[in-house]
Structure 1
Amino acid sequence: MTLQNKVVLPSRGRYTITLQLAAVMCCVTVCGGTPDPRQRETMMHQEASRQIGGRVHLTGAEQRLDAHLRKLKEQEMAAAQFPPAFHFFKARPLIHKSPIFSLLQRMPKGAALHIHSSSLVSVDWLVKNITYRPHCYICFTWGRSVRFVFSSRRPFPTWDCLYWQLLKNLRANMVDPTDFDYSLMQNLTLFTEDPDTTYPSQDAVWERFEMVFVAIAGLVTYAPVFKDFLYKGLEQLFHDNIMYLELRTGLSRTYELDGSIHDKAWSLRTYQEVTQQFVAEHPGFLGARLIISVHRYTAVKEAIQMQKDFPELVAGFDLVGREDRGRPLWFFREALSLPAELGVTLPYFFHAGETDHEGTEVDENILDALLFNTTRIGHGYALAHHPLAKELSRNGNVAVEVCPISNQVLKLVSDLRNHPAAVLMSEGHPMVVSSDDPSLFGTTGLSYDFYEVYVGIGGLRANLGTLKELAINSIRYSSLPSQLKERGLAMWQRTWDKFISENSYSNP
């Protein structure tokens, strides 16, 4: 299905709004003197109706909660320290104290559509659980990082790991094992108390970002850990009131204690089995699908076969890696055209526009992603600077996966009130909220990113209707077939109604 043939959901009341706006503008043009206050009221209403959630009808109970949230937001915006204006690493303690954040944690948020598998689980759990398991070896690299591997015997030295130590023995010799564990956590996350000094540039933070992924890999690709890791990740999402996941994964090969390697089909079966087990034990969870995500030099043939073998599990394909340092999408046009040439369907979910290098070759990824009929746009930070791409995305119902904390930590924006998603929100652009690499940023789930969107990016105009539409969007723009979307929306509505009834009665 081409971009031109995508189903476009008409905006409710589009024609009425257009006629009303025309009447207002006509009056503004011909009327002299002081404008009629009713004109202003109409214009304000029309503009507000265009934003995300602007046409969502709120029940009486929802209106009470909305009024309460607005009061809380006004208080936070008037405070001396406004969290969205600070780097998230500095703002996190402030967010923890926010009553808005507490409400957002309890709010049913629908689906998480943009999370990478290696960062699915908190580093606290990785260190306090996984590194305490038997046969875990560690080495410290020349690049001031760490590597882990599970092995029945001491691993052989490599160029960057000359000496492997059994972690159990190393920890036992530490004066303060708790402090040692904290130092391990620091090697598995970007979090630091002084981010501006630690990461003075995009190159610096991206270098550390990619280093952390390598450090985590040795832990989570050990087959017994892999299963527990997936289950724990679904559990942490479920506790954050998320009911469905689309996980980006490169399907790194998993290994056993004796060093034997499983193929990728084993990993896919494991994803399927763990998800089925979790759904059976948690009826409020809808499920999970995978978006096969590879670095920009890898072809798509393997993903086509994976989707053929696991059609219910594999949602589609993406290219990942730092856009500013990789090849643009257009470079891979022959490979990306392969599914069409073979007569098969492989939905694309491209990262595009995760850059502030306006006018460069990589900046054109936004247009190329749409040209290749992407189902959603990952990040889309640069979309606001591309009017044609924005129009095609809106008319084609191609949602943008906004990950505000990721964009801030990776130094695309400092004050989240200036995030370009504010423009998309004000225009009612198709959009969902996600967290990208939560464990690397010191978060879990979606609540932190929802907070930044609701309080910072959306400002005072963002209301409960905004939150409601964003949650609905996450199911509406998922890769689920229509029947499962309807089931998911019904499940979400029940939990939403319960959330409203439990949180609105005491808020006059």
Structure 2
Amino acid sequence: MMKKYFTYILLLGFPLFGSQSRVAGQSGYQQSWKLLEHENELLAFDADIQLSESEKILDQKLFQLRKQLLTDTEKQKISLFNSSFNEIKPLIESSKLFSVIQEMPKGGLLHTHSGGVTDIKWLITAARKYKECYVYDHEDHDQFIFGQLAFFEKGKVPEGFVSLDQKLVSNPDFEKKLQELLTLKRDRLCNYTDYWIEFEKRFKRISLLLPYRPFFKEYYLKGFQDLVKDKVQHVEIRFIFDELYDFQHGKYPLKTSITDLQDVLKEVHKTDPRFSLQLIYSSFKFFDPQNIDKQLDIAFKLKKEFPDMISGFDLVADEAAGNSIYSFQESWTKLNGLAKKYGVEMPLFLHAGESNSVFNKNVLDLALLNNQRIGHGLNLVYFPKAMELIKKQDKLVEVSPVSNQILGYVSDMRNHPARVLLSNGVQCSINSDDPSVYGYEGLSYDFWVAFVYWELDVKALKKLVFNSVNYSSLNENKKREAVAYLNRQWDDFIRKTNRELN
């Protein structure tokens, strides 16, 4: 009998013991997996955000909207992940998700450029109303390029320029051609073109247009009104200062740009008193250090006179073609002396890492300088120690997803380097860079792209939105007011959207 029981134990007992051992092993594995998942979540940039019950409800609704969007595009054979922004722009605009994001308060737009903020179609229509507006309709040469717009006094029009209005009357199709010349589109991701050369041509075509003082005011009023409509409450522009002019008084001092923008703000405040603006004095990477020293001196003078308008200093232009940030090291060492001389601080907001190359090491400088925010920072992921320092220093990376694709730094948006930055706790904000040049207005398109391609949730959206105010250049009092206002706007958005998506 004992032998019989022993046989049962061999047949049934050992497997049972083995099963218990496997269950214990699986439990340990599961616990370790959960712990690792939690530890990764604690490293993320939005780990400090706790959602309310209403926000959690909206999170589920937006998750379903994105899931439905992906299902619909798959059924329609739309290659969402292998398409350029220009190809899917109509899809974005027709989506329910886009209408939701349009209503979402955006906080601040911390990275955009003078000459890149206002709708191109409007620009052509507005410029056409001026009898003194001309367009160059000859082939490119050293001084002017085809499609370049400018204002001239009658009798002083250079050869090759014709009246814009008369050109459009005689050839209505030229308006569409001009729109194409003023916007940069990537029709297919596989196009091979030097996009920076084409990009800079877009700015050159309006470079003689914006300094005309009457048009300058119109241009920025329209641009700010569009941003307000898209729920943006604060803007910081990388601003290239130029002497404004008109034909009655000639050229005006540099500071006229600031006083005129203050007048434009007063006009905006009639309908939206919360809207605020600051300018980041910008010069060019292709200048030599002596020229940059002069530019810094001018920037300090303007900041001393307009401390609430001038927020800092930047260098712009193609990083692959311009000088490195390191090459201006002597200029950076003079900042403290200039601060003492003028009695104001000049934070840096330098472009860096707008590159796919590990040989571009501009991000290393930003970990060592008084640089509060980083423009683009795409290749920061190649420099882990610099990334760690920037995280510890609590510096913000200004991310512009649509711009990054159009200029050729990212093809499949799912592979955008910002996803690595966010997962590793580097603080970021969403920006549009030069939306008018890319054929859109506002900030909603960039948020849509980030939400869909980066698989974000409401917690991430909220952090990105509030980062744009918390890392702005507003003084502490104005920042507190802006955050309080944004909180109210955000709560209203959550309630309204939950109600509408029932």
**When the two structures are superposed, what TM-score results if normalisation uses the length of structure 2?**
0.87
Indicate if the aligned counterparts of 2:428 and 2:467 stay in contact, CA closer than 8 A.
Answer: yes
1:114 aligns with 2:111: yes
- SS of residue paired to 1:432: strand
**Which residue of structure 1 aligns with residue 44 of structure 2?**
51
1:479 aligns with 2:480: no
**Which residue of structure 2 aligns with residue 453 of structure 1?**
450
Distance 1:506 1:39 in 2: 41
Q: Gaps spanning 5+ residues in structure 1: where? A: 1-30
**Which residue of structure 1 aligns with residue 8 of structure 2?**
none
CA deviation map 1:36-55 (0-9, x unaligned): 43443343334334333344
> For the structure 1 residues 83 and 259, does the alpha-carbon distance in structure 2 shift closer, same or farther, using more than 3 Å as the test?
farther
1:231 aligns with 2:225: no
- The alpha carbon displacement at 1:491 in A equals 0.7
- SS of residue paired to 2:111: strand
- The alpha carbon displacement at 1:84 in A equals 4.9
> For the structure 1 residues 99 and 45, does the alpha-carbon distance in structure 2 shift closer, same or farther, using more than 3 Å as the test?
farther
Matched to 2:311, the amino acid is A
**Which residue of structure 1 aligns with residue 376 of structure 2?**
379
**Which residue of structure 1 aligns with residue 153 of structure 2?**
152
**Which residue of structure 1 aligns with residue 316 of structure 2?**
320
Distance 2:273 2:348 in 1: 29
Distance 2:122 2:174 in 1: 15
- The alpha carbon displacement at 1:444 in A equals 1.1
- Aligned partner (choices 165, 183, 201) of residue 189 of structure 1: 183
- The alpha carbon displacement at 1:131 in A equals 2.3
Distance 1:328 1:243 in 2: 33
- The alpha carbon displacement at 1:147 in A equals 1.8
Indicate if the aligned counterparts of 2:238 and 2:281 stay in contact, CA closer than 8 A.
Answer: yes
Indicate if the aligned counterparts of 1:84 and 1:455 stay in contact, CA closer than 8 A.
Answer: no
- The alpha carbon displacement at 1:500 in A equals 1.0
Number of residue-to-residue matches in the alignment:
460
- Aligned partner (choices 30, 52, 55) of residue 37 of structure 1: 30
1:76 aligns with 2:69: yes
**Which residue of structure 1 aligns with residue 441 of structure 2?**
444
1:405 aligns with 2:371: no
Q: Gaps spanning 5+ residues in structure 2: where? A: 1-23
1:241 aligns with 2:220: no
**Which residue of structure 2 aligns with residue 270 of structure 1?**
260
Indicate if the aligned counterparts of 2:297 and 2:338 stay in contact, CA closer than 8 A.
Answer: no
- The alpha carbon displacement at 1:315 in A equals 0.2
**Which residue of structure 2 aligns with residue 138 of structure 1?**
135
Distance 2:389 2:333 in 1: 20
Distance 1:279 1:380 in 2: 34
Indicate if the aligned counterparts of 2:84 and 2:186 stay in contact, CA closer than 8 A.
Answer: no
CA deviation map 1:178-228 (0-9, x unaligned): x3211111111112645644xx14xx2111111110101222221001011
1:219 aligns with 2:219: no
- Aligned partner (choices 328, 335, 339) of residue 332 of structure 1: 328
- The alpha carbon displacement at 1:233 in A equals 1.0
CA deviation map 1:100-147 (0-9, x unaligned): 111111100100000001011010110122223222111124226322
- SS of residue paired to 2:90: helix
- The alpha carbon displacement at 1:336 in A equals 2.2
Indicate if the aligned counterparts of 2:137 and 2:162 stay in contact, CA closer than 8 A.
Answer: no
Matches within 5 A, 1:264-303: 264-285=254-275, 287-296=276-285, 297=287, 298-299=291-292, 300-303=296-299
> For the structure 1 residues 141 and 378, does the alpha-carbon distance in structure 2 shift closer, same or farther, using more than 3 Å as the test?
farther
- The alpha carbon displacement at 1:82 in A equals 5.3
**When the two structures are superposed, what TM-score results if normalisation uses the length of structure 1?**
0.86
Indicate if the aligned counterparts of 1:154 and 1:164 stay in contact, CA closer than 8 A.
Answer: no
Distance 2:432 2:335 in 1: 29
Distance 1:217 1:109 in 2: 29
- The alpha carbon displacement at 1:316 in A equals 0.5
Distance 2:419 2:81 in 1: 13
Give percent identity, aligned residues only: 32
Matched to 1:72, the amino acid is L
The RMSD of aligned alpha carbons is 1.9
> For the structure 1 residues 45 and 71, does the alpha-carbon distance in structure 2 shift closer, same or farther, using more than 3 Å as the test?
farther
- SS of residue paired to 2:261: helix
CA deviation map 1:395-438 (0-9, x unaligned): 10100000111111111111010111111111231111101111
Indicate if the aligned counterparts of 2:104 and 2:490 stay in contact, CA closer than 8 A.
Answer: yes
Indicate if the aligned counterparts of 2:410 and 2:416 stay in contact, CA closer than 8 A.
Answer: yes
